[in-house]
Amino acid sequence: MSNANPLPFATVAVPTRNEAATIEGCLRSLVAQDYPHDRFEVLVLDGGSTDGTPELVERFAAGSPLEIRLVANPRGHVPAALNIALAEARGEYLVRVDGHSHPEPRYLSRSIAGNLEHGADLAGGWVRAVGEGAVGRAVAAAFASPFSMGNPGSWNAPDAPREVASVPCGSYRLEALKAIGGFDEGQLANQDYEANYRLRAAGGKVVLLPDVHFDYVPRDRLSRLARQFARYGYYKARTMAKHPASIRPRHLVPAAALVGLGALVVTAAVWAPARPLLLAAALAYLVALVAAAVHAGRGLGRAALALPAVFATMHLAWGAGNVLGLARFFPRRSELRG
């Protein structure tokens, strides 16, 4: 494109908090972008890191060809960071990149091209999970499986560009995001889906691109995975209470199964005829776990042995978090919608 008609200027927002292990790799991946360095800025929005992340960012920025600014995020959480970026941005597009991810070199250019080519208010790619260690590799494989609690469409490349309900990260048209009021700062997880729901309700268009992806390093311990998924389920309940029309049957399965199982356990403890039903339910779930693990674990080697535990952790943690969230947020649904 000629100098008379330059590429749109973009702002890349990188929310961080204690990302010392990954932030330099993330910033190096931004330097490696094929988008002209004078056509985008990088805002690293730090939420009070205590592991040296800000110092690493400042040292990297001092020797970088990119314009990288470290911005304080006093509230500490991701939606607040994104709203600060929205207020500070000089670009026409706001591109979110997580501090523990590594976008491929065409991530910025192809995402913005997706905005322009498809008239999209949000365009982005899929996520390639790259696990470390046996558990991390099993978690990465589980994310791409329909048996997990995530949306497998986000973790697999589509055959062609297509309109979707949401994409992870991606490139927002700045004015469209401002028009819906930015991100809901009470939505401490699932904030992208919630904002994208409002974006689409306002007539916006969200497009998933096949030739754009970024690498994501998932949790490598079951305890960390459990905390992550309990948080996901809890704040998904907030989105469900705020936007009931966004609820899909698959969102209800873990919480319903957990409540049903609990009721069956209590019933079986006091009524013997319920015990065979409890055993049958447990065996059916075990068979499903093994079948899903066999399907998802192809080519994974010994790491596939961890898949049943990974799937069970995802289901139980998400379901427990969702039950707690529904109990908290549904009584407040009119307040949330207001």
Q: Are residues 155 and 245 in the same domain?
A: no
Residue 231 falls within a domain, yes or no? no
- The reply to whether 266 and 185 lie within a common domain is no
- Average pLDDT, stretch 33-55? 97
Write the DSSP string, 191-202: HHHHHHHHHHHT
- High-pLDDT (> 70) share of the chain, %: 98
* Structure confidence by residue, pLDDT tens digits, 286-322: 999 999 999 999 999 999 999 999 999 999 999 999 9
Give domain status of residue 228, yes or no: no
* Cβ burial 220-248 (10 Å sphere, 16+ → b, else e): bebeebbebbbbbbbbbbbbbbbbeebee
Segment 228-256, tens digit of pLDDT:
999 999 999 999 999 999 998 888 999 99
Q: What is the pLDDT of residue 133?
A: 93
In a domain, 5, yes or no: no
The total domain count for the chain is: 2
Last residue of a domain, one of 219, 248, 276: 219
Which residue range forms the structural domain that includes residue 72? 10-219
pLDDT band at residue 5 using 50, 70 and 90 as cut-offs: low
Cβ atoms of residues 83 and 183 within 8 Å: yes
* pLDDT number for residue 235: 97
302 burial via Cβ count (<10 Å: 0-12, 13-18, 19+):
exposed
Q: Please list the residues that pair with 126 across neighbouring strands.
A: 213
pLDDT interval class at 2 (50, 70, 90): very low
Q: What is the pTM of this model?
A: 0.92
Structure tokens at 69: 């600014």
Give yes or no for residue 79 having a pLDDT over 50.
Answer: yes
* pLDDT one-digit tens code per residue, 189-207: 999 999 999 999 999 999 9
- Is 12:30 a contact under the CB 8 Å cutoff? yes
What does pLDDT average to over the chain?
A: 94
Do 246 and 113 share a domain, yes or no? no
Of residues 100 and 29, which shows the higher confidence score? 29
Do residues 113 and 204 both lie within one domain? yes
Q: What is the CATH number of the domain that holds 66?
A: 3.90.550.10
